[in-house]
């Protein structure tokens, strides 16, 4: 089983198009998941959300999707005179009532089960909530509190906007980076791929992050960070697995 996961698209339509085209051309996954933060901060929120609902098998909720839907507000979006409040209003107007209602009803997570006891769990920020970041510098004790309740072989998430992976016990966890607003020094849109491979006496999940292979022209409405893309990142050259 192969699952492609893009997260933190943030209304960046050219980057979203580039990622979905690259996934279709280079990955041929069994499933595509959009792991939250779909619309807010980009120039094309409605077009981006429509495309994700059309092309993805699962669309999950992120913290900014909750802000848009009015489920709750976080950070500077709670401040009346902050510029982010105006951005929130503008994005809501672009989306309209029907899409806002759909955003507010999105699921928190999704599971894929290629074999009993070998689930892939996908969420936005962490398995417990939509806000706390799983920073790669967290020590083992701090990280384990997010995963102590989770029965899965692997967990994919976003929220931080840069890729990394590590193990929590036998579980492989990986941040799939950001399609819309990368923060790892490379402005090209990124996504993650989880691949499950059954082997004699072992079950293996491998995760990698990749960059898109096709350049995209920036939108005339906003200068997109999509830019020129490449087909693989340094992380793809390594393989992380969980073995049973």
The residue-averaged pLDDT of 215-221 equals 43
Write the pLDDT tens digit of every residue in 24-76: 998 999 999 999 999 999 999 999 999 999 999 999 999 999 999 999 998 88
Write the pLDDT tens digit of every residue in 181-205: 999 888 889 999 998 887 644 445 5
For the domain 2-237, what is the CATH code?
3.60.21.10
Q: Where are the domains of the chain?
A: 2-237
Give me the long-range contacts of 91-100 (CB less than 8 A, separation at least 24): 91/11, 91/39, 91/40, 91/41, 91/45, 92/68, 94/45, 94/46, 95/39, 95/45, 95/46, 95/49, 95/68, 96/46, 99/46, 99/49, 99/50, 100/68, 100/69, 100/70
Query: Model's pTM, two decimal places?
Result: 0.84
């Amino acid at each position: 089983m192969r699952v492609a996961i893009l997260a933190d698209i943030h209304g960046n339509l050219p980057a979203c198009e580039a990622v979905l085209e690259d996934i279709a051309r280079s990955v041929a996954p069994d499933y595509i998941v959009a792991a939250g933060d779909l619309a807010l901060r980009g120039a094309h929120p409605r077009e981006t959300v429509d495309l994700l609902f059309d092309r993805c098998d699962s669309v999950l909720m992120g913290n900014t999707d909750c802000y848009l839907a009015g489920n709750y507000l976080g950070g500077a979006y709670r401040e009346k005179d902050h510029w982010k409040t105006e951005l929130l209003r503008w994005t809501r107007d672009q989306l309209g009532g029907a899409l806002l209602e759909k955003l507010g009803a999105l699921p928190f997570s999704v599971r894929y089960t290629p074999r009993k006891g070998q689930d892939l769990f996908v969420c936005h920020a962490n398995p417990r909530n939509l806000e706390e970041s799983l920073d790669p510098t967290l020590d083992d004790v701090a990280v384990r509190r997010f995963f102590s309740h989770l029965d899965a072989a692997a967990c994919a998430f976003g929220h931080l906007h840069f890729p990394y992976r590590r193990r929590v016990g036998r579980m492989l966890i990986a941040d799939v980076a950001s399609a819309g607003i990368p923060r790892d020094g490379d402005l090209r849109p990124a996504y993650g791929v989880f691949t499950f491979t059954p082997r004699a006496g072992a079950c293996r999940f491998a995760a990698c992050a990749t960059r898109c292979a096709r350049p995209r022209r920036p939108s005339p409405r906003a200068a997109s960070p999509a830019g020129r893309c490449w087909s693989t990142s340094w992380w793809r050259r390594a393989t992380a697995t969980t073995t049973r």
